[in-house]
Structure 1
Amino acid sequence: MNPILSFIVILVGIYGLSVSKNIIKSVFCITIVEAGTILLFLNLGAYEGGVIPILSSLGIEIVDPIPQALMITTIVIGSTITSLALMLCIKIFHHYGSIEWKVILKGDK
C-alpha cells in the first residue's frame, strides 16, 4: 500500500473532525485518523520481499518487528480510548440531553 493513501485517510479524518457537529462523529473521526496513522507506520516498516520474523529462517530478509509491535499496542490502546470516549458521550447525553457541540459548549441543560 502506498503511504500517500495513508495520508489521505488521515486527512479525511481531520476534515471530518473539523466539520462534525456531533460528538460521536468526532470520536469516529479520531478513530479514522488513528487508523491512517497505523497504516502509515506499517507501510514505512515494511518492504518488498520481507518476511515476518516468526516465519523466517537464517539468511532471509525480515521486516522490522518494532513498528508491528508498536502498532498492535496502538490498536489496543485506541480501542480502549474509543470505548471510553463513547461512554463519556453517553454521560454527556444524560447530562445535557444532546450530543451536539453547540449545546454542550453553551452549557445549557
Structure 2
Amino acid sequence: MSVFAEQLKKYRTEQALSQDDLAAQLFISRQAISKWENGDATPDLPNLIKLADIFGISLDMLVLGHTTNTTATETPSTKPMYPHMNGWDFLARYWWIFFGIAWLIYMFTKR
C-alpha cells in the first residue's frame, strides 16, 4: 500500500468521515475513494488539493506522510545562478553589454 493510501485512510477515519461522506464533498463516487485507499488508483491534482483542504493538512503531509521543516527564520539555500560560468558563457549571456560600452567609448572619443 502506498504512503498516500495510508495517509488518506488515516485522516479520513480521524475526522470520522465515511467514504461516502468524503466522496460527496469531492463530488466523486465512493468507489473512487475506495480505489485511492487500496492503492489501485491515485487522485488528480485538484482532488489532492481538495483533500488537503478538507483534512486541514499540507500536500506534503497527505502525499508523502511528513511535514515540511521550513520555518520563518530559515532562509533557503543560496546557490549561484550560474555556478560554472566561463568566459564564453558570459559572452553568450551578456553580449549586448558590449554595444553599450562601445557607444560610451564612441561618445567620449568623438570630441
Instruction: Give the shorter-chain TM-score range.
Output: under 0.3
Q: TM-score, structure 2 length as denominator?
A: 0.20
Larger radius of gyration: 2
TM-score by length of 1: 0.20
Higher share in helix? 1
